[in-house]
Chain A
Amino acid sequence: MTRMALLAFWSHWRRHPVQFFTLIAGLALATALWSAVQAINAEARASYAQAAVQLGVDGTEILTALDGPIAVSQYVALRRAGWQVSPVLDGTLRREGQSFRVLGVDLLSSADLPAFAAPEAAQNFQAADVLTPPGRLFASPETAASLAHLPDLPPIIETANVPPDVVLTDIGIAEQLLNRSGQIDRLRVMPVQSAGIPPLADIAPNLRRSTQTSGETDRLTDSFHLNLTAFGLLAFAVGLFIVHGTVGLSFEQRRAMFRTLRALGLPLRRLTVLAVAELMIFAVIAGLLGLAAGYTIAGALLPDVSTTLRGLYGVPAANTLHLRPEWVASGLGMAILGTGLASVQALWRLWRMPLLAAPGLQSWAAGARRTNRIMAVIGIALFLAGVVAMVLFDGLVAGFALLAGMMLGAALILAPILSLILRLGARTANGPISEWIWADLRAQLPGVSLALMALLLALAANIGVGTMVSSFRLTFTGWLDQRLASELYVTARDDAQGAAIEDWLTPQVDAVLPIRSFEFSHAGTPLFVYGIRDHATYRDNWPLLAYTPDVWDMVASGTGVLINEQLARRSQIWPGDTLTISPKWSLPVAGVYSDYGNPTGQAIVSLDALLSHARDVPNRRFGIRVAPDRVRALSQELQTRFDLPSTALINQAGLKARSMEVFDKTFVVTGALNLLTLGVAGFAILTSLLTLWSLRLPQLAPVWALGMTRSQLARLEVVRSLALAALTALIALPLGLGLAWVLLAVINVEAFGWRLPMYLFPLDWLRLFLLALLAAGLAAVIPARRLYRLPPSDLLKVFADAR
């Protein structure tokens, strides 16, 4: 009996290969997108963890000063008192538009770092070379390659034991590179300390002991990964709509077979077990295919993700993917879980299947009306819960709670809203056919509402993320225009050459604007203070978000400071408040400017003020105001006259192009996921229409018999699908804009520390609207063609069959 049942099960798929393909493809697609995101996340997290080990920050205790760098004298005092501590200098080396994190450590007390301790390290270098000038730099092969062409750097030793974009070196060498001799950023407290050392408060009361984590970046990257996960989950959910559709269809089509099997004596329990087993086999097959596809997608997207993570957050991230067993297991688990979820309804129907009559579509619709009301209530409740979460709590989690509430709530309210619209629309009907079309749309709604929910979510995500990205891009472009006001930027080899260049340039250009900065620290994080010369370039262009009326005069006279938005939001200081730059230097905040893509705090004061508070401020970079048509000639002349490498000269246009390129890469990932999700939603509509097919004929046959042609009916099927998609798209628009608002005004502020203005892009909406119509139209064309070609005798069977 079971054998016969198995053969019967199998013969269905032999006769419906396309359905089999759809089921496997839907499930594989869902698994692929989900597991791709998981693979990317796992890889990035592994890079962070590895970097933490390589840099010795994995939970080590450290000492930091509350008010800037630690003096060498304090270090010496601690060592004399018996404290086992190791000094670290941590700074950013900026050369020719690139920046690297330089980590200077004491080689002797940090010999445990992987770069020094790895077995192959001994063959690569001699300790003496590292300690004596010019010293050695340790960097990953990638970083070494981008450092290679920079002048005046010590020899580089390539090692896999340093994270990307980080240069590890002896602290003495780092002092010279960073121009910060005699400074220590933190002291690592060695795990083993001798007994009876005096307490910290006695020797160095201004130092604080804490466990080192990468705190700030943790939060930033967490939000990025949460973002990806949310998208992966969305794609997975949308994929499940397909599985739901095809499983429903296959069960619907096998109804007669199931009945026969049961009539032949197969117990319902065994029938159900067989159906479940069949689904699980499919889940495993599709899960494995999905994992393979997911691995490929992740591999393709990872470089862009790494660029994003490094460029936007300044964290190390690897470019290559590893296959992890736990990833395979969780991917398969999701596939099985998803199949189960998507099949619950079909299995339930099988379990409850009466041996004879099947319920009509209208009673399904009546049931759906009740469900509608319940769904509407739950949907509104979820919506409100999201808002309440936002009001009661703040932070990233509340932001995401609001997002989730909005999206889920809207999905649940969709069917009731559509039903209401259709009921209102029916009042406008003035002929029998239009009356029927409206009524029929409403009857069809329960069957396609899941697919429409998928479409709604995909469209809203598209509009939301699209609006965010485009707003971001527009703001960013405008901001670049303002910030990069100078036509040409030049970097001298050293201060002496800088002075020479300035002297030579001044008489022949509109203005030479020095770009000089010094690294202070504020609330435990680095604060880069720039000194500027008062000039119209700043007064006319600088992107100020908030300011006092005499902002530029305050800055020029040294009685005010401009700070970037990140610092303002993080420290809650705005115009009227005071910024403490160092213990001896505080200034009122005169204005706040936007500074996208920069994870650290930044401030601007007058050049004179900076020079009076900081020693040895390098004077090597200049912005040059000059007529655009002279840029080329001027940069060539500078290059030959001062023997500068071509990388020392950056023209504004090129820099903008490069910045935009990095920026655009940032959103390749979400863009790809977005489009895939929309495609999957279109596929979901198709499968639900195919599922409904057997239920459609009893609706259509009477109308056909009463004097409509099959081609008219087929056309109406497409029109109906388009109408539902169009209505859904119209509802998706406000939802998507709400999503964009949350992303820009809530999530962004929490995650990155800046708020972006929201711009609207109606042309994008139109494009998306047409895309949704295209998807729905394509999805409807296949069943419509089938209807158009259906032999009349098949339609007539509706009136003869005892269904």
Chain B
Amino acid sequence: MLCFGIGRQIPRGGQEWQVPVLLDIRNVTKTYDGANARPVLRDVSMTLNRGQTVALTGESGSGKSTLLHLSAGLDAFDGGEITVDGTALSSLDDTGRAALRRDTVAVVFQQFNLIPSLTVAQNLSFHARMAGRLDTAWLQELTGRLGLADLTDRYPEHLSGGQQQRVAIGRALAGRPALLLADEPTGNLDETASGAVLDLMLDLVALSGTALFLVTHSRQIADRLDRHVHLSGGKIA
């Protein structure tokens, strides 16, 4: 698992020359400031390849969300290194991390993903347009497959929870990012809705060639992915 730090410059089309490892987490530690200054992550290491799908499980409070946030450049870690698409995150400042979120990774949280003041259509295209990669045909296909075609003029608060999460998934995949990080995206939905949304997501992830790092509680879902890692006691088991 060598990392030459050049993956970022390689054009998207040149698959054969890209370093296969997309996300490389090495000996990462993270401690939150506060009363119980006990490390949440201790010496965590793992990798995720291009196009690969990996499930992350663990007890509540085991640090799954934390690991996902660190991988997305949403927060800074204390020790170790995380490399995304050849870029070492410890070397990035605020601007660099923002660029990573804009250009390379997409995140779907448990809830409140959408920009409340924008319509569904505006939300769907937002991320791809920010990254300068709007592909209208692909966006239309996504919108249709996610069953959002009739909702494009609505505002997020007039959508059900399931609809909102579908918009969030559509928005994340519209720019075909290299990596999709999803933190219990259906954790707030009932079982039926949850199953349907996850099925859709897995299909579309496969279709767009995006790698997926998915935090989930469900063994069943975890089994459908390429690999499965478990976080416990601040370490990957």
Contacts and interface: CB of A to CB of B under 8 A. Distances in A.
Contacts of A439: 117-118, 122
Contacts of A800: 65, 109-110
A442 B122 CA distance: 15
Contacts of B126: 432, 436, 706
7 contacts: A362-B116, A362-B117, A443-B117, A698-B116, A707-B127, A793-B32, A800-B109
Contacts of B111: 799
A796 B74 contact: yes
B217 interface: no
A694 interface: no
Given A439-B122, A710-B94, A432 B116 contact: no
B74 to A, nearest CB: 6
Contact of B103 (A362, A707, A803): A707
Given A432-B122, A800-B109, 9 more contacts: A361-B117, A362-B156, A435-B122, A705-B107, A709-B94, A793-B32, A799-B109, A799-B110, A799-B113
A707 B112 CA distance: 16
B123 to A, nearest CB: 9
Nearest to A431: B129
B130 A707 contact: yes
Nearest to B183: A799
A703 B171 CA distance: 12
Interface in B89-112: 94-95, 97-103, 107, 109-112
Interface in B74-94: 74-76, 94
A365 B109 CA distance: 25
Contacts of A803: 112
A699 B117 contact: yes
B115 A793 contact: no
Secondary structure type dominating chain A contacts: helix
Contact of B101 (A699, A706, A712): A706
A48 B103 CA distance: 77
Nearest to B114: A702
Interface of A: 360-363, 365, 431-433, 435-436, 439-440, 442-443, 698-699, 701-712, 792-793, 795-796, 798-800, 803
Contact of B118 (A431, A435, A698, A712): A435
Residue among B76, B111, B118, B129 having the largest count of chain A Cβ atoms under 10 Å: B118
A798 B109 CA distance: 10
A60 to B, nearest CB: 71
A221 B113 CA distance: 63
Given A710-B94, A796-B74, A800-B110, A702 B157 contact: no
A439 B114 CA distance: 14
Contacts of B122: 432, 435-436, 439
Contacts of B75: 792-793, 796
B69 A698 contact: no
Given A362-B156, A707-B98, A792 B76 contact: yes
A796 B181 CA distance: 14
Interface string B24-62: 000000001000000000000000000000000000000
A702 B113 contact: yes
A490 B98 CA distance: 81
Contacts of A432: 122, 125-126, 129-130
Contact of B115 (A363, A442, A699, A795): A699
B131 interface: yes
Given A362-B117, A436-B118, A440-B117, A706 B76 contact: no
A798 B126 CA distance: 19
Nearest to A799: B109
A360 B98 contact: no
B98 A709 contact: yes
Contacts of B95: 709
A707 B110 CA distance: 18
Contact of A360 (B101, B131, B157): B157
A716 B128 CA distance: 21
A766 B107 CA distance: 46
B131 A707 contact: yes
Contacts of A362: 116-117, 155-157
B160 to A, nearest CB: 14
Contacts of A707: 98-103, 127, 130-131
A439 B103 CA distance: 24
Contacts of B115: 436, 699, 702-703
Given A436-B126, A796-B75, A443 B116 contact: yes
B179 to A, nearest CB: 14
Residue among A361, A431, A439, A711 having the largest count of chain B Cβ atoms under 10 Å: A439
B74 A705 contact: yes
A702 B155 contact: no
A440 to B, nearest CB: 5
A795 B157 CA distance: 20
A705 B101 contact: yes
Contacts of B32: 793
A360 B94 contact: no
Nearest to B111: A799
Contacts of B97: 709
A774 B117 CA distance: 27
B117 to A, nearest CB: 4
Contacts of A703: 115
A706 B102 contact: yes
Residue among A362, A440, A701, A711 having the largest count of chain B Cβ atoms under 10 Å: A362
A710 B98 CA distance: 9
A706 B113 CA distance: 10
**Nearest 8 pairs of A and B residues by beta carbon:** A707-B102, A799-B109, A443-B117, A432-B129, A439-B117, A707-B101, A709-B98, A792-B75
A433 to B, nearest CB: 7
Residue among B95, B99, B110, B130 having the largest count of chain A Cβ atoms under 10 Å: B130
Contacts of B103: 707
Contacts of A792: 69, 74-76
A363 B157 contact: yes
Contacts of B76: 792
Contacts of A706: 101-102, 126-127, 130
Nearest to A702: B115
Interface in B109-165: 109-118, 122, 125-127, 129-131, 155-157
Contacts of B107: 705
B101 to A, nearest CB: 4
Contacts of B112: 698, 701-702, 798-799, 803
A701 B109 CA distance: 11
Residue among A435, A702, A708, A793 having the largest count of chain B Cβ atoms under 10 Å: A702
Nearest to B69: A796
Contacts of B155: 362
Residue among B65, B101, B116, B118 having the largest count of chain A Cβ atoms under 10 Å: B116
B66 to A, nearest CB: 9
A587 B234 CA distance: 107
B74 A433 contact: no
A436 B75 CA distance: 24
Nearest to B93: A709
B129 to A, nearest CB: 4
B91 to A, nearest CB: 16
Nearest to B68: A796
Nearest to B100: A707
Contact of A708 (B98, B110, B118): B98
A711 B94 contact: yes
B212 to A, nearest CB: 17
Nearest to B126: A432
A432 B102 CA distance: 12
A442 B99 CA distance: 27
Nearest to A699: B116
A513 to B, nearest CB: 74
B148 to A, nearest CB: 17
A799 B215 CA distance: 14
A432 B139 CA distance: 15
A436 B117 contact: yes
A738 B116 CA distance: 39
Interface in B152-205: 155-157, 183
